[in-house]
């Protein structure tokens, strides 16, 4: 089937002499004049198309490179019987123009029309722009009629029907039966009208129907008066419609011109898809394969004729076991366009294939599978770790780069190499090779370097000054208060909806007079049956919570027991997610709750860098490694095991205690921000290979729970704005106090940008989101299917941004 588009070159809508015209598929230079020796390579693509009315549309492409007037065949895919004749058109890859060229030797495709209309969906100077979900495409309805009559000379006065057609920019070519076929090939009309007075009307129509390219052409008979039923019945096998010469209704013709213009775009797209470097296949909603491209044939070793029409599950690919298709998860409801972009879409999870539901208005859906890690990153998400980082990621560890190369390689190499590459990735991701270096933020960005120095790099060459800055940890303030809980109705009410993300833990802090942790903890532990797992009573658990709460510093503006309650509440919320419940083991879930409770125990209100710079005894004790985090969890076990009546692990069998303790330590240590990107990368690596997640449940559960508590620890920016803002002010106040002390004592400033006199608080929050929160929650929310948290993060980011422009540092003296 050959196509032409019916506008003259240059976009005018005058009746054109020649009707081949370019179909611009991409943006490209639409004024590009194709010359015989164009500066960029021109190739001729011969495409055979099935009839458009009979899916699946298969296309074989024989690429011919044009050299002079000769065409040398470039590549031939495995033979698939073309159902119809060859179509010939040109495309120049560099400019993604596809020229439809009638196979008249030597005829140049014409220059293209004006540039794509930016808005799309409009008709400008006779050109129609079709806006689809992926952007506008320039299509020009082909308004060409071939009128077959016995007298080629036009009647003195055109009939009303023809006048109406011409007034709507239609071109009418008259011909006689003997030259009708040649003229059809020459003009490529969308509408063939035969004069009802033709002596051999039916045989003429039948002869034209025999041309394969007429399968999508509208056949009409033009008559002076309405046909009798009998006459219509005899003609119905040859004609789709009869038109009265006296009629001025051309609506069917107009519609058909538009529809066929869209259909004509198919060969272009199939050529692009067929020539794409990455394997692509298209399935319908029943997972029947409708189409595969040449790269798929190449990588799978099967010919498309062997797979088209087959059920995905039947496909056993010859060369790549892993390339088998994932079993489909049919969504309960057809994903709408919006769904497609929400995390709730039931994507067919597979590490090998990126599945894209094709948005369509119909209930049934097609799915495009694109093999991951393939050449054309533009379409499929590249598995390299680098691409897993948000484009704005500021930090890349050398090891991450190496793993990104390996992840890419893994999906391109053949099957016997793949396991080795996969193993290499596992080895690299298991050892401490992550030494993130801030690579992309401006040195002048003091806040970002403040976070980097103060949270990640930590160690400062420091002047030695003996400091007994924080001795509070010696003062083990053990609560000797009563352990029998009396709960007022206010507290009971304040504990309502503790399972909601909107829960206001700061209100609970107020109502309980700084005992949010013990009260909220008791409720959450009870809801999670922690007592059952630990084989201890809720009374013991409440006593334990009271002791732990008493060892947080109430005078810290941020790192106090309410922050622990906040992180515990977030941990409980995340554990409630269906996806997490599927992957987190019970022991790790309970460990996460306990870890959240103790994760900042006895925090001195100063960061690790400060303790290291002051040679604090904790820094000496823990050799500058995760100093505070080690202290939090060590003290937690000391307090638990040393205090009679509060040992919540007392009844745990030894083996279970060892496992529980290991998991709690692991998760608390994971809150050390100096290893943020290490844990994040491992989580991303794991969750982009969903099938792998099944084969090492224990280790994977821990990786997920580490990420869970990490996100709970930095979840402030995802909370309701009122809470987000309060937490932001609290953390900055604590930083101000640290910086003030560093200045007073001549210590290195660990958190640059957090000087009370000059700090732009909203800007510090935006930087925290840019550097840490956005990327972590993008990965976390996609995996845990919590898209609403990302929406809140971006809303809060914009709220901080709005304030940053007018922030007055004089506000910094009264943040709380």
Ligand X SMILES: Nc1nc2c(ncn2[C@@H]2O[C@@H]3COP(=O)(O)O[C@H]3[C@H]2O)c(=O)[nH]1
Q: How far apart are CA 426 and CA 410, in angstroms?
A: 12
Residue 579 CB, shortest distance to ligand X, in Å, is 24
714 lies in the binding site for ligand X (CB under 6 A): yes
Specify the stretch interacting with ligand X by CB under 6 A; choose among 85-93, 507-515, 647-655, 761-769. Answer: 761-769
Q: How far apart are CA 137 and CA 131, in angstroms?
A: 6
DSSP characters over 464-519: --------GGGS-----S--SPP--HHHHHHTTTTTSTT--HHHHHHHTTS-HHHH
Of 78, 96, 62, 57, the C-alpha closest to 296 is: 78
Q: Which of 559, 631, 632, 676 is catalytic?
A: 559
189 lies in the binding site for ligand X (CB under 6 A): no
Q: Is 699 annotated as a binding residue?
A: no
Q: Is 600 annotated as a binding residue?
A: yes
7 lies in the binding site for ligand X (CB under 6 A): no
- String marking each residue 271-310 x if it binds ligand X according to CB under 6 A: ----------------------------------------
Helix (H, G, I), strand (E, B) or coil at 16: coil
**Which element (helix H / strand E) includes 297?**
helix 294-300
Residue 755 CB, shortest distance to ligand X, in Å, is 15
Q: Is 713 annotated as a binding residue?
A: yes
CB atoms within 10 A of CB 514: 15
DSSP bridge partners of 311: 288
The two tokens of residue 29 are 């230079």
Q: Is 692 annotated as a binding residue?
A: no
Residue 667 CB, shortest distance to ligand X, in Å, is 13
- Cβ atoms 666, 633 nearer than 8 A: no
Backbone dihedral region for residue 59 (phi beyond 0: left; psi -120 to 50: alpha; all else: beta): beta
Nearer to ligand X, 62 or 726 (CB): 726
> Strands 218-223 and 241-244: what pairing?
parallel
Nearer to ligand X, 404 or 671 (CB): 671
729 lies in the binding site for ligand X (CB under 6 A): no
Residue 646 CB, shortest distance to ligand X, in Å, is 24
> Strands 127-132 and 123-124: what pairing?
antiparallel
Residue 568 CB, shortest distance to ligand X, in Å, is 13
Classify each residue of 288-304 as buried b or exposed e, where b means 16 or more C-beta atoms within 10 Å of its C-beta. bbbbbbbbbbebbebeb
479 lies in the binding site for ligand X (CB under 6 A): no
Residue 636 CB, shortest distance to ligand X, in Å, is 15
Q: Is 765 annotated as a binding residue?
A: yes
Backbone dihedral region for residue 10 (phi beyond 0: left; psi -120 to 50: alpha; all else: beta): left
- String marking each residue 574-613 x if it binds ligand X according to CB under 6 A: --------------------------x-------------
DSSP bridge partners of 73: 64
449 lies in the binding site for ligand X (CB under 6 A): no
Nearer to ligand X, 218 or 766 (CB): 766
568 lies in the binding site for ligand X (CB under 6 A): no
- String marking each residue 219-258 x if it binds ligand X according to CB under 6 A: ----------------------------------------
Residue 611 CB, shortest distance to ligand X, in Å, is 12
> Strands 144-148 and 171-175: what pairing?
parallel
Nearer to ligand X, 90 or 610 (CB): 610
Among 239, 242, 727, 783, binds ligand X (CB under 6 A): 727
Nearer to ligand X, 48 or 671 (CB): 671
Specify the stretch interacting with ligand X by CB under 6 A; choose among 486-494, 612-620, 723-731, 774-782. Answer: 723-731
* Helices within 195-250 (DSSP H only): 201-209, 229-235
Q: How far apart are CA 390 and CA 99, in angstroms?
A: 38
Specify the stretch interacting with ligand X by CB under 6 A; choose among 297-305, 316-324, 714-722, 779-787. Answer: 714-722
Torsions phi, psi of 388, nearest 5?
Answer: -75, -20
571 lies in the binding site for ligand X (CB under 6 A): no
Judged by CB under 6 A, how many residues of this single chain contact ligand X? Answer: 14
**Which element (helix H / strand E) includes 694?**
helix 690-695
Could you report how far apart the first and last alpha carbons of the chain are, in Å?
A: 74
Distant-in-sequence, close-in-space partners of 164: CB < 8 Å, separation ≥ 6: 247, 248, 249, 250
Q: Which of residues 203-222 bind ligand X (CB under 6 A)?
A: none
Residue 778 CB, shortest distance to ligand X, in Å, is 17
109 lies in the binding site for ligand X (CB under 6 A): no
Residue 453 CB, shortest distance to ligand X, in Å, is 12
713 lies in the binding site for ligand X (CB under 6 A): yes
Residue 592 CB, shortest distance to ligand X, in Å, is 16
Nearer to ligand X, 147 or 754 (CB): 754
Residue 751 CB, shortest distance to ligand X, in Å, is 8
Nearer to ligand X, 82 or 607 (CB): 607
Nearer to ligand X, 218 or 612 (CB): 612
Kindly list the distances between the CA atom of residue 166 and the CA atoms of 396, 750, 795, in Å, as whole numbers in the listed order.
Answer: 64, 79, 55
Helix (H, G, I), strand (E, B) or coil at 713: helix
Helix (H, G, I), strand (E, B) or coil at 597: helix
521 lies in the binding site for ligand X (CB under 6 A): no
Of 341, 361, 267, 370, the C-alpha closest to 2 is: 267
The two tokens of residue 312 are 């995905």
Q: How far apart are CA 7 and CA 127, in angstroms?
A: 9
Q: How far apart are CA 177 and CA 175, in angstroms?
A: 7
716 lies in the binding site for ligand X (CB under 6 A): yes
Among 58, 350, 518, 671, binds ligand X (CB under 6 A): 671
Nearer to ligand X, 348 or 676 (CB): 676
**Which element (helix H / strand E) includes 690?**
helix 690-695
DSSP characters over 34-49: P-TT-SS--EEEEEEE
To the query of whether residue 365 is one of the catalytic residues in this protein, the response is no
Among 673, 709, 749, 766, binds ligand X (CB under 6 A): 673
717 lies in the binding site for ligand X (CB under 6 A): yes
731 lies in the binding site for ligand X (CB under 6 A): yes
> Strands 191-195 and 218-223: what pairing?
parallel
Distant-in-sequence, close-in-space partners of 635: CB < 8 Å, separation ≥ 6: 473, 551, 598, 601, 602
566 lies in the binding site for ligand X (CB under 6 A): no
- Cβ atoms 462, 612 nearer than 8 A: yes
Q: Is 560 annotated as a binding residue?
A: yes
Specify the stretch interacting with ligand X by CB under 6 A; choose among 206-214, 258-266, 701-709, 711-719. Answer: 711-719
Among 688, 765, 779, 812, binds ligand X (CB under 6 A): 765
Q: Is 559 annotated as a binding residue?
A: yes
Distant-in-sequence, close-in-space partners of 613: CB < 8 Å, separation ≥ 6: 460, 462, 742, 747, 748, 750
| Residue showing tokens 């009708």 | 180
762 lies in the binding site for ligand X (CB under 6 A): no
518 lies in the binding site for ligand X (CB under 6 A): no
455 lies in the binding site for ligand X (CB under 6 A): yes
Nearer to ligand X, 434 or 800 (CB): 800
Q: Which of residues 767-796 bind ligand X (CB under 6 A)?
A: 768
Residue 794 CB, shortest distance to ligand X, in Å, is 15
Nearer to ligand X, 267 or 728 (CB): 728
Binding site for AMP, residues?
559-563, 600, 713, 765
Which active-site residues does the annotation give?
559
Contacting residues toward ligand X, per CB under 6 A: 455, 600, 671, 673, 713-714, 716-717, 727-728, 731, 764-765, 768
The binding site consists of: 559-563, 599-600, 713, 765
Residues comprising the binding site for Zn(2+)?
563, 599-600, 713
């Amino acid at each position: 089937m050959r196509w032409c588009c019916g506008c003259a070159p240059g976009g005018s809508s005058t009746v054109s002499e020649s009707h081949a015209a370019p179909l611009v598929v991409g943006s490209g230079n639409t004024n590009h004049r194709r010359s015989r020796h164009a500066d960029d390579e021109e190739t001729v693509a011969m495409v055979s198309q099935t009839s458009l009315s009979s899916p699946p549309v298969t296309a074989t492409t024989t690429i011919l490179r044009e050299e002079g007037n000769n065409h040398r065949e470039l590549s031939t895919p495995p033979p698939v019987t073309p159902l119809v004749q060859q179509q010939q058109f040109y495309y120049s890859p560099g400019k993604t123009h596809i020229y439809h060229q009638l196979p008249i030797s030597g005829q140049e495709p014409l220059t293209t029309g004006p540039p794509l209309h930016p808005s799309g969906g409009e008709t400008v100077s006779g050109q129609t722009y079709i806006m689809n979900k992926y952007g506008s495409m320039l299509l020009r309805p082909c308004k060409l009629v071939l009128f077959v009559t016995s007298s080629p000379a036009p009647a003195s006065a055109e009939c009303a029907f023809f006048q109406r057609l011409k007034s709507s920019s239609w071109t009418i070519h008259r011909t006689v039966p003997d030259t009708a076929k040649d003229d059809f090939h020459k003009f490529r009309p969308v509408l063939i009208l035969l004069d009802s007075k033709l002596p051999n009307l039916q045989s003429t129509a039948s002869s034209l129907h025999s041309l394969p390219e007429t399968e999508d052409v509208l056949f009409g008979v033009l008559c002076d008066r309405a046909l009798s039923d009998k006459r219509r019945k005899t003609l119905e096998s040859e004609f789709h419609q009869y038109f009265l010469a006296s009629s001025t209704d051309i609506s069917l013709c107009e519609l058909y011109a538009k529809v066929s213009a869209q259909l004509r775009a198919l060969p272009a797209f199939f050529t692009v898809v067929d020539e794409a470097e990455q394997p692509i296949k298209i399935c319908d909603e029943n997972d029947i394969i409708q189409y595969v491209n040449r790269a798929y044939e190449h990588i799978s070793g099967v010919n498309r004729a062997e797979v088209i029409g087959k059920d995905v599950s039947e496909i056993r690919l010859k060369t790549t076991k892993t390339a088998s298709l994932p079993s489909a998860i049919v969504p309960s409801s057809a994903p709408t366009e919006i769904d497609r972009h929400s995390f709730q879409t039931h994507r067919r999870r597979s590490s090998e294939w990126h599945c894209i539901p094709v948005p369509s208005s119909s209930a049934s859906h097609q799915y495009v599978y694109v093999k991951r890690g393939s050449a054309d990153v533009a379409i499929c998400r590249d598995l390299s770790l680098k691409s897993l980082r948000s484009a704005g990621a500021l930090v890349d560890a050398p090891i991450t780069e190496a793993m990104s190369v390996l992840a890419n390689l893994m999906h391109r190499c053949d099957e016997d190499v793949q396991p080795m590459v996969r193993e290499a990735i596992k080895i690299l991701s298991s050892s401490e090779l992550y030494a993130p270096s801030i690579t992309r933020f401006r040195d002048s960005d003091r806040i970002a370097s403040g976070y980097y120095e103060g949270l990640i790099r930590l160690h400062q060459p420091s002047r030695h000054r003996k400091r007994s800055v924080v001795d509070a940890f010696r003062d083990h303030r053990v609560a000797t208060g009563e352990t029998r809980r009396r709960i007022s109705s206010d507290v009971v009410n304040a504990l309502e909806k503790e399972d909601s993300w909107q829960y206001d833990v700061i209100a609970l802090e107020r109502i309980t007079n700084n005992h949010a942790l013990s009260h909220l903890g008791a409720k959450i532990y009870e809801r999670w049956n922690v007592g059952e797992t630990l084989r201890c009573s809720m009374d013991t658990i409440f006593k334990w919570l009271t002791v732990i709460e008493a060892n947080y510093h109430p005078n810290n503006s941020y790192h106090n027991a309410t922050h622990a309650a906040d992180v515990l509440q977030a941990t409980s919320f995340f554990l409630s997610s269906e996806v997490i419940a599927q992957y987190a083991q019970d022991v790790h879930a309970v460990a996460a709750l306990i870890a959240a409770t103790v994760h900042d125990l006895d925090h001195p209100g100063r960061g690790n860098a400060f303790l290291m710079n002051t040679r604090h005894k904790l820094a000496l004790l823990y050799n500058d490694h995760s100093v505070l985090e080690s202290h939090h969890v060590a003290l937690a076990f000391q307090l638990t095991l040393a205090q009679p009546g509060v040992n919540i692990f007392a009844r745990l069998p030894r083996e279970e205690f060892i496992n529980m303790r290991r998991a709690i330590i692991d998760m608390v240590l994971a809150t050390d921000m100096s290893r943020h990107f290490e844990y994040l990368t491992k989580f991303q690596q794991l969750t982009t290979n969903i099938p792998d997640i099944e084969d090492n449940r224990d280790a994977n559960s821990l990786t997920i729970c580490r990420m869970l508590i990490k996100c709970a620890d930095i979840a402030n920016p995802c909370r309701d704005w009122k809470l987000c803002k309060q937490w932001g002010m609290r953390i900055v106040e604590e930083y101000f106090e640290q910086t003030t002390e560093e200045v007073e004592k001549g210590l290195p400033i660990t958190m640059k940008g957090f000087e009370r006199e000059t700090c732009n608080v909203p800007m510090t929050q935006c930087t925290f989101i840019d550097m840490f929160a956005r990327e972590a929650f993008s990965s976390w929310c996609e995996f845990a299917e919590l898209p609403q948290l990302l929406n809140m993060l971006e809303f809060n980011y914009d709220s901080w941004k709005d304030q940053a422009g007018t922030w007055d540092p004089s506000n910094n003296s009264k943040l709380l």
